[in-house]
Amino acid sequence: MDLFQYDFMLRALVGALIIGLAAPALGIYLVQRRLALIGDGLGHVALTGVGAGLLLNHSPVLVAVIAATLGAVLIELVRAYGRTSGDLALALLFYGGIAGGVTLVGLSDASTGSLNAYLFGSLTTTSRTDLITIGVLGVVLLVTMLVLRPALFAVCHDEEYARVSGLPVRALNLLIAVGTAVTVTIAMRAVGVLLISALMVVPVATAQQVTRGFRSTMTAAMALGLFAAGTGVWVAATADTAPGASVVLVAIGSFLLVALAAAGLRALRRRTRTDRATSPAEPAEHEVLLR
């Protein structure tokens, strides 16, 4: 592994691994809530933060965290209280976010190259400060998602029941929203605004092809995220491809492989089952027999 003798490659690898582990740990709650693409939208909003940061000569990542958090809270409020216009409000926020970002970056002295770095990721330029930010936020995120797993599971699984259980539903929802914003901003370094949802969602989608429970899905998704991040950076270093895109392609490749294998296994199992289909017929489901 000569490639990793360079500091910048090592930093890229460590950053990618942290994100690979943390992103699915949060993404699973988004998938459970069928909000898989929310991360994508928040990435757009984060871009406005990046633009503002570049324009004001402040740390773009920090301003992006603030912008994405505000966006996430706004989306959560729309989700909780909004009615029919929720869909439109989200669209306005997302497209406003990306347009604002492009405009602000254009106004600043930054080159189009730096816009590209945020759109598609730029792992190899990860600085020591970036790595510390990613590390601290990643660990806080991971610990929160793991410690609060039962409560977050309950809220995402059945919100009304969670309310009758006396859980702080609003606070937990906001926590997921803010966690999404934080994940988006730290993952922005690795895969870029446009590919963020992939790291949060694809490992979860892969895991649930074979898992039966929530906890096992979460564990498997985190392992898959770690694998995709490590392999992706290695592929990028050897084949000289874009690291962010390579990580995402590895994740999607794993999904296809696992999905095909799982489908094959299911077909095989079904065949063996019909071969010995002598078991007594089970009662039909949803049978209504009231007297």
Q: Which residues lie near other proteins (CB under 8 A)?
A: 28, 31-34, 36, 147-148, 150-151, 153-154, 156-158, 160-168, 172, 204, 208, 211-215, 217, 283-291
62/146 with CB nearer other proteins:
146
| CA–centroid distance for 177 within its chain | 12
CA distance 159 to 162: 5
119/177 with CB nearer other proteins:
177
Question: Closest approach of Cβ 42 to other proteins, in Å?
Answer: 18
97/203 with CB nearer other proteins:
203
Q: Give the closest residue to 211 by CA, choosing from 16, 32, 22.
A: 32
Contact criterion met (CB below 8 Å) for 201 and 66: no
113/283 with CB nearer other proteins:
283
How many residues are present in the chain?
Answer: 291
Name the amino acid, one letter, at 231.
T
Please name the residues in contact with 70: beta carbons below 8 A apart, sequence gap of 6 or more: 45
Question: Closest approach of Cβ 24 to other proteins, in Å?
Answer: 11
Question: Closest approach of Cβ 31 to other proteins, in Å?
Answer: 5
For residue 118, count other CB atoms closer than 10 A to its CB.
27
76/130 with CB nearer other proteins:
76
Question: Closest approach of Cβ 125 to other proteins, in Å?
Answer: 35
Question: Closest approach of Cβ 274 to other proteins, in Å?
Answer: 18
128/212 with CB nearer other proteins:
212
113/213 with CB nearer other proteins:
213
* C-alpha dihedral sign at 190, 209, 42, 154: negative
Question: Closest approach of Cβ 44 to other proteins, in Å?
Answer: 22
What's the alpha-carbon Rg for the chain, to the nearest Å? 21
87/158 with CB nearer other proteins:
158
- 3-class SS at 84? coil
Question: Closest approach of Cβ 41 to other proteins, in Å?
Answer: 17
Contact criterion met (CB below 8 Å) for 194 and 85: no
Question: Closest approach of Cβ 147 to other proteins, in Å?
Answer: 7
Host H or E run for residue 163: helix 159-164
Q: Tell me the two tokens of residue 30.
A: 């988004």
Name the amino acid, one letter, at 16.
A
Q: Please give the full DSSP string across 169-230, using - where no structure is assigned.
A: HHHHHHHHHHHHHHHHHHHHHHH-GGGHHHHHHHHHHHHTTT--SHHHHHHHHHHHHHHHHH
